[in-house]
Amino acid sequence: MKKVMYIQYSDPTHWPVLMHGTHILAEKKANILMLGTQNIKEESNRVQLSTHPNIRIKLLGYVSPGLLQKIQYFLFNLWVLTYVLIWRPDVVYASEKLVCPIAYIIKKFFGRIKLIYFEPMYAGMGVEIKPKFVRESRKKLAVLADLCIVPNEPRLEKFIEDVGNHGNAIFAYNLPRHQEFEEIPIREKNTTDKLKIFSYGHITADKLPPELFEALEGLKDKVELVIAGIDPGGSEGYSSKINLQIKKRSLENNVSLVGLIKKRSDLLVQCSKADVGLAFTGKSFKDNTQPEFRSEGASQRPFEYMGLGLTLLVTDLEEWENFFVKDGYGYSCDSESVESIKNALLELYNNKDSLYERGKMNKEKILSEWNYNNEFKKVEKYIEN
């Protein structure tokens, strides 16, 4: 059995795309060990995942930011190195910039190990990455790594601009794994009076802007919204402002803020009962000239909605228009315009009878083509050879 070690200085299970890759490998008889640290203090806010028997996950405990966390980071690197010496992996899959120093050391002194560096989200301008030793090790790792992966082509261009072109970098879209959706049936046709919308993920202003609730105020008899997820700000975070919006605009019968649905399988089943998946993103992404802001293929949420048979409502980013709207997988609007959001919701409501067929098309697209099983083949060949 191939032995593949995943390392990330945070909880790697919070990145669905990492878990998809581990499951694909585990189903092909690889032996997977994932090392990380717990970065959510409250156990009640931690997502529960079902994993393959060939996957083991080991996490150091939660430590608050400050001196203790710096000590933990040092110990984490020693811990990883110890596992490399004892477990002797064939492949190390290093995810995110903070593991670049130890990943560089592993590849430098254990050349037989294949080293894959994955940057699931852009780390920032290369010259701005701090501390300096992380920035420098990222550049050195980019030279030695057997493979470097980023989530789309514009970010690949930016990565090469930062670290140089060494012929070992590719992009692979952060798509969902089709097995998660095969057994979840598409809902029946909507025979109710209201359009059902679902949103999950981090509860933030870019994903759930105030303009959305102002638009919903004028559509109380037509639209209902369910919001699930974690508020990064805790009890004083953005969800408290949403509750104020609900009360101010008398949306108690239209907006449900259900918080974290701990089991991912339960989340997907509940989401599958909606008509529309809400996938707004920040307007800073409007500047398409900056590759670090290009989000097509990096955000997995729209593809997951499609896999559940939902129609999409996305921010009118040029690349999202090309990905999702042009070929009929969803609708778009200006997520900072009350009027634009309202018009899009009205159009969806007026066409809700057609959303069932559109949802079937979306699900088929994920099962047959837009899935990580297909995309991960770009990576598998480096692991298997």
- For the domain that residue 17 is a member of, what is the CATH number? 3.40.50.2000
The answer on 257 and 160 residing in a single domain is no
- The tens place of each residue's pLDDT in the chain, 385 residues long, gives 799 999 999 998 888 899 999 999 999 999 999 999 998 777 766 777 778 999 999 999 999 999 999 999 999 999 999 999 999 999 999 998 999 999 999 999 999 999 999 998 765 555 567 788 999 999 999 999 999 999 988 889 889 988 999 999 999 999 999 999 998 999 888 778 899 999 999 899 989 999 999 999 999 999 999 999 988 776 578 999 999 999 999 999 999 999 999 888 999 999 999 999 999 986 554 544 455 556 667 788 999 999 999 999 999 988 889 989 999 999 999 999 999 999 999 999 999 989 999 999 999 999 999 999 999 999 998 888 7
Whether the link from the prior residue into 131 is cis, omega within 30° of 0, is yes
Q: Which domain holds residue 333?
A: 179-368
Instruction: Look at residues 144, 270, 149, 139 and name the one whose alpha carbon lies nearest to residue 200.
Output: 270
Distance CA(332)–CA(279), nearest Å, equals 9
Which of helix, strand or coil describes residue 9? coil
Contact 227, 255 (CB under 8 A): yes
The answer on 183 and 169 residing in a single domain is no
The answer on 237 and 354 residing in a single domain is yes
The answer on 202 and 61 residing in a single domain is no
Instruction: Look at residues 120, 92, 137 and name the one whose alpha carbon lies nearest to residue 382.
Output: 92
Which of helix, strand or coil describes residue 376? coil
Instruction: Look at residues 215, 226, 212 and name the one whose alpha carbon lies nearest to residue 254.
Output: 226
Distance CA(334)–CA(182), nearest Å, equals 33
Instruction: Look at residues 319, 239, 326, 334 and name the one whose alpha carbon lies nearest to residue 283.
Output: 334
For every residue of 72-118, DSSP letters joined together read: HHHHHHHHHHHHHHHH--SEEEEESGGGHHHHHHHHHH-TTSEEEEE
Q: Compute the C-alpha angle 20/22/25, nearest 5°.
A: 110
The answer on 224 and 197 residing in a single domain is yes
The answer on 189 and 58 residing in a single domain is no
Q: How many domains does the chain have?
A: 2
The answer on 281 and 160 residing in a single domain is no
Contact 184, 305 (CB under 8 A): no
**Residue 152 structure tokens:** 């789309």
Q: Which residues, 6+ apart, have CB-to-CB distance to 275 below 8 Å? A: 187, 190, 195, 196, 197, 310, 311, 348, 352, 355, 359
The answer on 102 and 43 residing in a single domain is yes
Amino acid in position 372: Y
Q: Which residues, 6+ apart, have CB-to-CB distance to 179 below 8 Å? A: 23, 373
CA dihedral 159, 163, 165, 169 (to 10 degrees): -50
The answer on 353 and 208 residing in a single domain is yes
The answer on 137 and 74 residing in a single domain is yes
The answer on 315 and 263 residing in a single domain is yes
The answer on 316 and 196 residing in a single domain is yes
